[in-house]
């Protein structure tokens, strides 16, 4: 089953999945839905109300394009969700954009210099003076705030729409499955920021593949250690990078460890809470840590399995 955002939600992509016998859960734009779907979303009937949020669903038929170019129809479940929290967030985001748009209206130079299309959609640029009906010469424009557009958009605040091939799943189960996308997004952040996957400083095909294979193994190891220690990836990797054993001679090492190691000690049952250690002690610690990694049950949940 493919779980993806709006970028995957096309008739061609859905046809590829349907042709391969795969399933999908993809988001769709509630604001740009067709007229029947919009009417269904705004209909106050059939919602399951849960206080601050509500959900409803229905089964529809959709025409998709198969890989050979032919068109066919598939059954999909439409799942709609509205929440007061999302509505408040949408309202606040638009209010901020309207404030910026008003600054553009007040200062045409700001409007001309800006490339913020999201903000500019609330600004109407007329080539005609609305007071006199006179066509303005040159590049002159009369700017005004498009309050009607903002009011029309406000109607759809707080709505989320999903399409899925899984017509027998409940609406809430589909929403819960879709929400796991945040783990994919967080994985990209860990890969790029904490593990420094990019930029890539090699050029040949084999070395690029080797680089990303190494990064993937590092990511897998990080995820396993996250499950074991319950530490976020950033804190975990910082602890690993800053644990130091400085050779002071004669087999004696000075131990420097970040505070995060207290959590790691408790989780692994292998404490290293000392400032000095012999090489024999360090080897014994390493052996015990390796053994415990194989024998201590690691916490797992249905979400991180």
- According to the model, what pLDDT value does residue 245 have? 92
- According to the model, what pLDDT value does residue 301 have? 45
Count of CB atoms situated within 10 Å of the CB of 297: 6
Region of 158 please: left (phi>0), alpha (psi -120 to 50) or beta. left
Whole-number Å distance between alpha carbons of 86 and 72: 35
Q: Answer yes or no: do 126 and 189 share one domain.
A: no
- According to the model, what pLDDT value does residue 151 have? 93
Q: Answer yes or no: do 63 and 120 share one domain.
A: no
Q: Answer yes or no: do 200 and 136 share one domain.
A: no
Q: Answer yes or no: do 12 and 64 share one domain.
A: yes
Q: Tokens representing 78?
A: 């439409």
- According to the model, what pLDDT value does residue 5 have? 87
- According to the model, what pLDDT value does residue 7 have? 79
Q: Answer yes or no: do 56 and 187 share one domain.
A: no
Whole-number Å distance between alpha carbons of 281 and 159: 59
Q: Tokens representing 193?
A: 């920021």
Q: Tokens representing 188?
A: 């990209």
The answer to whether 304 touches 227, Cβ cutoff 8 Å, is yes
* pTM to 2 decimal places: 0.64
- According to the model, what pLDDT value does residue 303 have? 46
pLDDT averages per 10-residue partition of the chain, 305 residues: 84 87 92 92 91 93 87 92 95 94 89 83 81 67 88 93 93 90 82 85 93 91 87 89 91 92 88 90 92 75 43
Q: Tokens representing 116?
A: 């913020």
Q: SS3 for 221?
A: helix
Q: Answer yes or no: do 121 and 73 share one domain.
A: no
- According to the model, what pLDDT value does residue 300 have? 53
- According to the model, what pLDDT value does residue 200 have? 87
Whole-number Å distance between alpha carbons of 55 and 47: 6
Q: Answer yes or no: do 304 and 200 share one domain.
A: yes
Q: Answer yes or no: do 66 and 212 share one domain.
A: no
What b/e string do you get for 133-169 counting C-beta neighbours within 10 Å, with b at 16 or more? eeeeeeeebebebbeebbeeeeebbbbbbbbbbbeeb
- Domain containing 24: what range? 2-81+159-181
Q: Answer yes or no: do 50 and 113 share one domain.
A: no
The answer to whether 59 touches 52, Cβ cutoff 8 Å, is no
The answer to whether 72 touches 91, Cβ cutoff 8 Å, is no
Q: Answer yes or no: do 163 and 128 share one domain.
A: no
- According to the model, what pLDDT value does residue 248 have? 93
Q: Tokens representing 15?
A: 């046809």
Q: Answer yes or no: do 41 and 170 share one domain.
A: yes
- According to the model, what pLDDT value does residue 94 have? 94
Q: Tokens representing 139?
A: 């590049």
Find the largest Cα–Cα distance for the chain.
Answer: 94
Q: Answer yes or no: do 277 and 195 share one domain.
A: yes
State which H helix or E strand residue 285 sits in: helix 279-295
User: How many domains does the structure of the chain reveal?
Assistant: 3
- According to the model, what pLDDT value does residue 197 have? 85
Q: Tokens representing 243?
A: 């644990």
């Amino acid at each position: 089953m493919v779980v993806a955002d709006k970028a995957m939600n096309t008739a061609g992509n859905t046809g590829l999945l349907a042709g391969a016998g795969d399933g999908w859960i993809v988001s769709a734009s509630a604001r740009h839905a067709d007229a029947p779907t919009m009417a269904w979303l705004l209909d106050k009937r059939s919602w399951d109300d849960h206080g601050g949020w509500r959900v409803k669903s229905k089964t529809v038929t959709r025409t998709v394009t198969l890989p050979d170019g032919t068109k066919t129809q598939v059954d999909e479940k439409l799942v709609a969700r509205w929440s007061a929290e999302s509505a408040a967030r949408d309202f606040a985001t638009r209010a901020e954009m309207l404030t910026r748009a008003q600054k553009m209206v007040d200062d045409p130079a700001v409007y001309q210099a800006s490339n913020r299309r999201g903000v500019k959609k609330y600004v109407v640029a007329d080539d005609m003076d609305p007071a006199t009906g006179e066509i303005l010469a040159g590049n002159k424009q009369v700017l005004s705030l498009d309050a009607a557009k903002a009011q029309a958009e406000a109607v759809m605040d707080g709505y989320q729409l999903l399409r899925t091939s899984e017509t027998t799943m409940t609406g809430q189960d589909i929403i819960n499955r879709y929400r796991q996308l945040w783990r994919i997004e967080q994985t990209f952040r860990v890969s790029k920021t904490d593990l420094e996957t990019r930029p890539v400083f090699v050029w040949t095909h084999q070395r690029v593949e080797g680089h990303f294979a190494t990064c993937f193994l590092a990511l897998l190891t990080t995820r396993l250690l996250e499950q074991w220690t319950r530490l976020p990836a950033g804190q975990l990797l910082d602890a690993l990078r800053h644990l130091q054993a400085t050779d002071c001679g004669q087999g004696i090492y000075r131990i420097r460890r970040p505070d995060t190691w207290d959590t790691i000690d408790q989780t692994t049952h292998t404490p290293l809470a000392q400032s000095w250690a012999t090489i024999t002690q360090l080897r014994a610690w390493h052996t015990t840590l390796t053994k415990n990694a194989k024998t201590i049950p690691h916490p797992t949940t249905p979400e991180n399995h």
